[in-house]
Structure 1
Amino acid sequence: MDLRIEISEAPQEVDYQAILAPLREYNQAQTGLFGTEKLAILIKDDVGATQGGLYAKISGQWLFVELLVVPEAARGQGLGVKLMNMAETLARKKGCQGIWLDTFSFQAPDFYLRLGFSIFGELKDYPVVGYKRFFMQKRFDLNRDNPSNTQP
């Protein structure tokens, strides 16, 4: 079989799946873990429209918070803390070791630190010079007795 390398500036979904499939197969063979479970905790308005919330995925024994948004008019009322506490409760019930997420320096790193998260990685000058992207985790084994524990 002859192989060549080419750059595609408009890759198709079929290309993505062709790359993902063997990687997923290899990872499953190594870990014995299969699939990802999605979950959402939604903030709805009085007509039932989603106005914000938390979107997460459980892969392996970790819950990844992909999105967290509290509507601007509702900020400062504890909804973010409530969403994160609910996510943690769900993660613990599903046997997760912890939660991880990423956030930008202009978003909410201090919020997550107050909730017991620690920074395990940092990308400087992202998305542009002067900002940072933080990768954060909250391990339940370190936070079992003290939810405000911030040790890495």
Structure 2
Amino acid sequence: MTSDDKTLTVGEQDAELEQRLSDELDTFNFVATGVSDRGSFSVKVTDEAGELVGGLAAWTWGGLCGIDMVWIREDSRKDGWGSKVLLAAEAEAQRRGCDRIAVSSFTFQAPGFYQRHGYVETGRTLGIPAGHEDVHMFKSLV
């Protein structure tokens, strides 16, 4: 789509665009808040063969840790690895200066798991995916 001297395009994921947007938003956010401590980290578990057992990906900014993804291999879910990964992430978030942490989990995933670890529901996005909900949760780390 073209309008005047601008062109709008829609396409597949664009890593260069995502990096530029992230950089521009970091600049905007710093000007607005004075906070520039954005970072990310992961927690990874492997077995004796070097195969992935599970892990977690998260970001930090302004004293908040946001958990993006958590996955534990099915044969290791009853061995406490989810709890170990979550506790390691909480400790790393605190080490990075975070005093709170947020996560969302679909109703068919693990909201009960997070609630058992002290997370409280703060809201829901309804109907995603059809018939389910995305449960938003929060926990104070202090």
Aligned to 1:50: 52
Q: What secondary structure does 2:128 align onto?
A: coil
Deviation at 1:47, TM superposition (A): 2.2
Aligned pair partner of 2:67 in 44, 65, 68: 65
For 2:29, the aligned partner's letter is N
**Aligned CA distance change for structure 1 residues 3 and 27 (closer, same or farther; 3 Å):** farther
> Number of aligned pairs?
139
CA distance in structure 1 between the partners assigned to 2:13 and 2:50 by the alignment: 36
Is residue 131 from structure 1 mapped to residue 106 from structure 2 by the alignment?
Answer: no
Q: What secondary structure does 1:76 align onto?
A: helix
Bigger shift: residues 104-113 or 23-32: 23-32
Question: Alpha-carbon deviations, 1:68-99, whole Å to 9, x = none?
Answer: 11110011121111111111122222221211
CA distance in structure 1 between the partners assigned to 2:17 and 2:89 by the alignment: 33
Q: Could you tell me which runs of 5 or more consecutive residues in structure 2 were left unpaired when the two chains were aligned.
A: none
Is residue 122 from structure 1 mapped to residue 124 from structure 2 by the alignment?
Answer: yes
Deviation at 1:107, TM superposition (A): 0.1
Bigger shift: residues 17-26 or 112-121: 17-26
Question: Alpha-carbon deviations, 1:8-45, whole Å to 9, x = none?
Answer: 23474444445444332111111222253222211101
Q: What secondary structure does 1:96 align onto?
A: coil
Q: CA RMSD in A?
A: 2.1
Q: Could you tell me which runs of 5 or more consecutive residues in structure 1 were left unpaired when the two chains were aligned.
A: 145-152
Q: TM-score, normalised by structure 2?
A: 0.84
Question: Alpha-carbon deviations, 1:46-86, whole Å to 9, x = none?
Answer: 12232311221112211111111111001112111111111
- Please identify which structure carries the higher strand content: 2
